[in-house]
Structure 1
Amino acid sequence: MTLDPKILLTIKNLPLLAKTVVDGFMNGFNKSTVKGPGLEFSQYRSYQPGDDLRWMDWRMYARSDRYYIRESEVETSISVKFLVDASASMNHNDGTISKIDYARYLTASLAYLANSQGDAVGLALFNDGGLQALDSRYDPQHLQRLYYQLEQLKPAGSFTGPGHYKELFSGRQRRELLVFVTDMYEAGNEISHLLNTLSALRHEVIVFHLMGEDELNFDFKGYSSLQDMETGEIIAINTQTKKQYQEKLAAHLSRLKKEMLEKHITYRMLSTAEPLDKALRDFLVQRNKGY
């Protein structure tokens, strides 16, 4: 079952929304590809001293007279941190849903999915030139705190951040999977600087680039000008502008894909009109990559 973003707007409770999205997604997903307690195991491996005997497969022992452990999410759980762009441009609404609401629903759903996989989840909100952060933990109460922070989020200011990303995202004993939800709008190179740092720290990074349908199709009927939500700059538009805009947008998206590939970062552009299923599937693929 897929849920249209317009329908999600009617679900006011964020934890319920996240559960509804993920349950619907998992019902149509091949669960045998997902590791975790209660789901089918990924593979067997030989027992090693110190392994948890709860994961011993006694049927395999009866057939082979050898001890085997069923590998599960208990052994492969990771740390997942969600980075959410909450600068003023994320207030953009294409007439159906705002980017920040889509980001809110997407992040809550991915956090619920990660938590159900046994992963520790954390949050970093880039808002009005600052940063609010929750460390990664595997704890139901911690997940509720993450939901609360997302619910209270009000985009403002520009994406400037604290500027000391290396100190914020290094020093951990193991790599994290970092999920960055953003519209990729930057006045200078603020987002590029963040991604360069994360890539240099050798974290797995997936970027979900959000765009409204009106931005993708240049559908601004009835408007003769547009105002930048962060700088206040006003730009005149006309039918001639549309062709130039679409050409520049295609070149811009192509350049972004190339830059992300060079940084070894997974990049996905999402329209805010799309159901969340595609993003959840991409997340699961990235989540199981290299861990």
Structure 2
Amino acid sequence: MTHDSRKFLQPEAISRISRLEIRARHIVEGILSGMHRSPYFGQSVEFVQHREYVAGDEVRNIDWKVWSKTDKYYVKLYEEDTNLRTTIVLDVSESMEFGRGPLNKLDYASTVAAALSLLLLKQQDSVGMITFDEAVRGRAPQRSKQSHLLQLLDTLGKQSASQKTDFYSILTQVAEEQTRKGMIILISDLLADREGLLRGLSMLRARGHDVLVFQILDDEELDFGFTGTTKFEGLEETGELICDPRSLRDGYLNAMETYLEELRRFCARNLVDFQTIRTSDHLDAALLHYMNRRIGMKMPARG
């Protein structure tokens, strides 16, 4: 056993991973119990759904029972035909350590990543993971076996926030590594270089990836509810400031709303799914709303 692997068997590391798994499983149970019935959950591991026949499809996959009823050709899609290849890209930079609630942003974001991993593995999809700040700090390959969850949790459990964020170089690396079209899920507070972030997301979309962005923010970052003389300590080497926060509140909130609106508009134009989540939000409810919206987009239109 290597020195590195022994490090991750320390009691505090095991405890962190166990808490992540427990939270993730609780959240997923709530999501699945609240899901509308769909061909993406709760069906057999083989047959998934029908699709209208197009030239080049295997004749052996035509469902003749459907043809006898509709006089139209439909093929059966199986699990391997709809299997997603997903990469979860998690920001572990220093700004993610901020938080005044039970979970800071990094803990909350890690729980999001764990819950999504469990959901995707339950539907037989391949899931990989990259954690990053200004460089890649951890990774797990794409695999679809249920047992792969442990490696994904290991990748999450051994990370600690450090350094600055470099969205462009990381998303460029992800784009170069993921040569097959798939799903890229970015989880971050997005409080870093705006231009690099937007260029990186544009690159992923140009290469045909389905891109999802979860922005994780603390209530104080959205509401700026500080009172009295306060010392603000900037994360990621941004210095300190002592002031009366009331003098900053209006300007701060205007700047934050301008930035969020720019993100929303950019993502809408580029067909990037975007959602801001507060660390005070019940995560199962937030993800249930999001997953129902995703499934609604994927469900075939009924004629």
More helix as a share of residues: 2
In the alignment, does 2:161 pair up with 1:155?
A: yes
The number of residue pairs the alignment matches comes to 279
Measured on the aligned residues, the alpha-carbon RMSD in Å equals: 3.5
Q: Say whether residues 1:125 and 2:131 are aligned partners.
A: yes
Report how far residue 256 of structure 1 moved: 1.6
The one-letter amino acid of 2:157's match is: E
Matched, 1:279 2:294: no
Pick aligned residue for 2:257 from 250, 260, 265? 250
Distance 1:254 1:165, change over 3 A: closer
Flag structure 1 segments of 5+ consecutive residues without an equivalent.
Answer: 1-8
Q: Percent identity of the aligned residues?
A: 21
The separation in 2 between residues aligned to 1:62 and 1:80, in whole angstroms, is: 37
Structure 1 window deviating more from structure 2 (218-227 vs 18-27): it is 218-227
When structure 1 is superposed on structure 2, of 91-100 and 214-223 the one drifting more is: 214-223
Mapped partners of 1:115, 1:102: distance in 2: 20
SS at match of 2:130: strand
Hey, what does 1:143 align to over in structure 2?
A: 149
Partner SS state of residue 221, structure 1: coil
| Alpha-carbon offset, residue 29 of structure 1 | 1.6
1:241 aligns with 2:248: yes
Write the distance in 2 (CA, Å) between the matches of 1:221 and 1:42. Answer: 56
Deviations 1:217-271 (A, max 9, x none): 1112355231111124223343132122222222221112122223332211111
Letter in 2 for 1:159: T
Match of 1:197 among 196, 203, 220: 203
Moved more, 247-256 or 163-172: 163-172
TM-score of the superposed pair, with normalisation by structure 2: 0.77
Structure 2 SS opposite 1:163: helix
> 1:108 is matched with which residue: 92, 96, 114?
114
- 1:75 is matched by which residue type in structure 2? D
Which has the larger displacement, 108-117 or 38-47?
Answer: 38-47
1:31 alignment partner, one of 20, 37, 59: 37
TM-score where L is the length of structure 1: 0.80
Partner of 1:274: helix, strand, or coil?
A: coil
Change (3 A) 1:284 1:73: farther
CA distance in 2, matches of 1:105, 1:281: 16
Q: 1:188-240 deviations in whole A, cap 9, x for unaligned? A: 74433432322332211111111111111111235523111112422334313
Question: Aligned partners of 2:74 and 2:271: how far apart in 1?
Answer: 36
Letter paired with 1:273: S
What is the correspondence of 1:1-291 to structure 2 with a 5 Å cutoff? 12-32=18-38, 34-35=40-41, 37-38=43-44, 42-43=49-50, 48-49=58-59, 51=61, 70-127=76-133, 129-160=135-166, 163=169, 165-170=171-176, 172=178, 174-187=180-193, 189-235=195-241, 236-276=243-283, 277-283=285-291, 285-286=293-294
CA displacement, residues 110-150 of structure 1 (integer Å, 9 cap, x when unaligned): 11101111110010111354343223221233221011111
Q: What residue ranges of structure 2 are gaps of 5+ in the alignment?
A: 1-14
In structure 2, distance between residues paired with 1:290 and 1:29? 14
- Output the CA distance in 2 between the equivalents of 1:253 and 1:38: 40
C-alpha separation between the residues in 1 aligned to 2:225 and 2:191? 19
